[in-house]
Structure 1
Amino acid sequence: MNDRGLTDPFGRKIEYVRVSVTDRCDLRCFYCMPEGFRDFEVPEHWLTFDEVERVMAAFGRLGTRRVRLTGGEPLVRHGLPELAARLNALPGIDDLSLSTNAVRLAKHADALAAGGVERINVSLDTLRPEVFKRVTGGKLEKVLDGLMAAKRAGFDPIKINMVVMGGINDNEVGDMVDFCIEHGFTLRFIETMPMGDTGREANEGHYVNLQEVRRDLEQRFDLIPGVMPGGGPARYAQVAGTDIRIGFITPISQHFCDTCNRVRLSVDGTIHTCLGNEHSLALRPRLRDGCSDAELEEAILEAIALKPERHEFNERPEKIMRFMSMTGG
């Protein structure tokens, strides 16, 4: 293994890969994927589980420690617990997690835990069924069932990701804190990001600065400095008198580019080095042309060398034309 790890041109160690196993989803969150969208990657272009395992083995040899399975919605990909077990067994990979909307989690929670997934993040923007229907087109009860199954399966931590949107769910922030205190969940608030037409529309019409949300929460809860293990970008506070931590993910109001430690592998085998830029490198053609392990590692190093210093959401929001589901959440 390369003990130095992967380091980008700006001295940041890249130890975290978010692996998208599908660009498809069983919900239609309006800020992520427009209703009626059908321009999905064809299955023939998806990386097979063998190819995903091979790519992540190469990342592991180069020093990557953390892997998160994402989508789209990863649980729509048949056999995901099998892939989890294969990745969990790779040398060097010691942190395997999952991002999900939890619609199918009740069915798969035990198998995922057995496969080595230890931590999960669940997208949940509201506790009101009618608002959930408006935002996602789905049924809230399925998500809540999935969350309770995750508790029983022993995932720790279980993190709730809430995209705060003005005029939609910004009046539920306190209720979500109470819900997470009740169930022992970690809560992370996220600002909308202007990715693609849907993201820009959500950002322009519903963007909420999380600095304001934090100030409002401080009027109701006693927040003290908090930390949370993991590879993500959230800045945490803790609710005094509890073990509950609240994270703030602020790509717009307070970007975290200087500490970015991650890249994304899309379902078609493309390494995306930044959500807010188009720097990328396609691995699938090389894999299917029979590249050696050494050539694969060299391609990964080539991709890391493309990683920009920072995103351009603020300066050039029109630049990013892809949807979040295409890149990997």
Structure 2
Amino acid sequence: MNPAPAPCLQDRFGRRIDYLRLSVTDRCDLRCSYCRPKNFDGYAEPADWLSFAEIERVVAAFARLGVARVRLTGGEPLLRRNLVDLVGNLAALPGVQDLSLSTNATQLAKHAVALKAAGLRRINVSLDSLDRDCVAQVCGRDTLGAILEGILAAKAAGIAPIKLNMVLMKGINDHEVEHMAEFCIAHGFILRMIEAMPIGEAGRNTHFLSLEAVRPRLVERFGLQPCSLELGGGPARYWATADGQAQIGFITPITQHFCATCNRVRLAVDGTLYLCLGQEERFELRPLLRDGASDAELEAAIRSAIELKPNKHEFIEAPGQIMRFMSQTGG
């Protein structure tokens, strides 16, 4: 007897959806300039947050539909109380093969060992600069020391790979790319450079810089060559040093969008499923969860939601259409 085919969640454009980014809080202890406006306080009420039990039901449903990768995001996910317990429960779910975390690392030092023991495989850390003044300018306060402590604690705990995400901003941190690359290569981290996206007022006011203006500098400085390594299922295009020991990824949602191969959806902490960062299509899962929907009904709702996923974003055509902020969407 032939085994049953593996489940597959596919949208109307034929893209396989196998990656769920899951926000566990919309709170953050930083106020990065490209993420939230300075005076923003429109947070969701904790009563509207999905409980851990509700999160586990949703992730289990996605896993039964073939979604094997789950990333915990925020806001800052480590601000959610007892997050380590959630990590352990999600890591144990059948079908979840890759559980990761995006963090600003300010709280990471005190949680790294427990996260690793609970089943966390890898982390992405937002770090746009190695200069204290620049960090304070971008993040709203000087947290460089705490961030570096957290990153090194994760390395010591055996969490790997560790990727550092650097949003490039013209005139702000673009002079630091070589320094950041040297730091990552020295420590065995993977650097990922990201073009800023016009999400919400904060994103539209970011000093956008095309990575096309940066990549040649790094290619020449470090002798980089294109590589086809699979490093987490995301949209980064990776280049490696000649010996293959170091990689740098480039994420270009504006200049070279990757919509045709988009494999992800985002679940906000309030249960809103967003189908695209650059469009407003969404599906509310919280009412189903709190009205007693069965597992079959929840899976059917997810399949219906995936049908809403648009063909592509419209950051260039309509940069002002997204009013929500990145921290509301879920990383």
TM-score relative to the length of structure 1: 0.97
Identity of aligned residues (%): 60
Contact in 1 for aligned 2:78/2:107 (Cα 8 Å): yes
* Corresponding position: 1:307 with 2:306: no
Q: How does 1:212-223 map to 2 (within 5 A)?
A: 212-223=213-224
Aligned position for 2:272? 270
Aligned position for 1:288? 290
Distance in 1 separating the partners of 2:287 and 2:104: 31
For 2:310, give the aligned amino acid: P
Unaligned runs of 5+ in 1: none
Distance in 1 separating the partners of 2:140 and 2:176: 19
SS at match of 2:109: helix
C-alpha displacement of 1:231: 1.4
C-alpha displacement of 1:242: 5.1
C-alpha displacement of 1:2: 7.0
For 2:107, give the aligned amino acid: R
Runs of 4+ in 1 over 3 A off after TM superposition: none
* Corresponding position: 1:155 with 2:159: yes
C-alpha displacement of 1:3: 1.8
C-alpha displacement of 1:245: 0.4
Q: CA RMSD in A?
A: 1.0
Q: How does 1:72-91 map to 2 (within 5 A)?
A: 72-91=75-94
Of 2, 11, 15, the residue aligned with 1:12 is 15
Contact in 1 for aligned 2:238/2:247 (Cα 8 Å): yes
Contact in 1 for aligned 2:101/2:122 (Cα 8 Å): yes
Contact in 2 for aligned 1:27/1:137 (Cα 8 Å): yes
SS at match of 1:105: coil
C-alpha displacement of 1:219: 2.5
Q: How does 1:248-267 map to 2 (within 5 A)?
A: 248-267=250-269
Distance in 1 separating the partners of 2:218 and 2:265: 32
SS at match of 2:240: strand
Of 151, 166, 171, the residue aligned with 1:167 is 171
C-alpha displacement of 1:36: 2.8
For 1:328, give the aligned amino acid: G
SS at match of 1:3: coil
Q: How does 1:28-177 map to 2 (within 5 A)?
A: 28-138=31-141, 139-177=143-181
Distance in 2 separating the partners of 1:85 and 1:62: 21
SS at match of 2:235: coil
Q: How does 1:186-201 map to 2 (within 5 A)?
A: 186-201=190-205
Distance in 1 separating the partners of 2:243 and 2:180: 17
Aligned position for 2:319? 317
For 1:58, give the aligned amino acid: A
Aligned position for 1:210? 211
Aligned position for 1:279? 281
Aligned position for 1:183? 187
Unaligned runs of 5+ in 2: none
Contact in 2 for aligned 1:2/1:62 (Cα 8 Å): no
Contact in 2 for aligned 1:192/1:207 (Cα 8 Å): yes
C-alpha displacement of 1:312: 0.6
Distance in 1 separating the partners of 2:218 and 2:233: 25
Distance in 2 separating the partners of 1:40 and 1:303: 24
Which string of whole-angstrom CA distances, capped at 9 and with x for unpartnered residues, describes residues 205-243 of structure 1? x11110111112123120112223311100000022351
SS at match of 1:82: helix
Matched length: 326
Aligned position for 2:247? 245
Distance in 1 separating the partners of 2:290 and 2:163: 37
Contact in 2 for aligned 1:2/1:61 (Cα 8 Å): no
Contact in 2 for aligned 1:61/1:92 (Cα 8 Å): yes
Alpha-carbon spacing, 1:84–1:237, altered in 2? closer, same or farther (3 Å) = same
